[in-house]
Structure 1
Amino acid sequence: MHSCTLLQDVANYQPDTLDLNTDAKAAAYWFPCFRELVGKFAKQAANSQMDDATAEQRAAQFQAAYLHQLEEHQNNIANNRGKVVLGTSELLKLNETMLRRYGFTDPWLRQKQQENASAKARLKQRLQEIDDIANEDARWTELVRGVLAGNMFDWGAQAIANILEQDSNFGLHAALERIEQRPWLVDNLDAWLERLHLSPAHKCAVIFVDNSGVDVVLGVLPFVRELLRRGTKVLLCANSEPSLNDVTSRELSELLDDCACQCDVLDSAWRSGRLLVYANGQSGPCLDMRTLPRELCDAIAANETDLLVIEGMGRALHTNLNAQFACETLKLAVIKNRWLAKYLGGDKMFAVICKYERS
Structure 2
Amino acid sequence: MTLPDRMWAALRLNRSALEARARFYSAYARLKPGPFDLRDVAELFRHGPVEGTGARVVNLLGPEPHTLGERLQSVRKPGGRAEWVRPAETADALRNAAIAELLLGTRSGRSTLLQASQGYRHLGLPFGDFLMVAAAGDRARSIAAARLLESVLSGATTADAEPLGRSATATPAQLRYLLFAAAPAITDPRPPAADEPLARRTTPVGSTAQPFSTWWRLGNQLTRWERRAEQNRRDVARTVGELAEAHGRQLELAMADEYHWSSGRARVDLIDLDLAGAVAISARTMRRRSIRPWSFEQDFSGLSPLAGISIEIGLDLGRDDQAPDDYFTFDPQDPLPGPRDDAARRGGQRYTDHD
Q: Name the TM-score, length of structure 1 as normaliser.
A: 0.26
- In our comparison, the structure showing a higher alpha carbon Rg is 2
Higher relative contact order (CA 8 A, sep 6+): 1
Structure with bigger helix share is 2
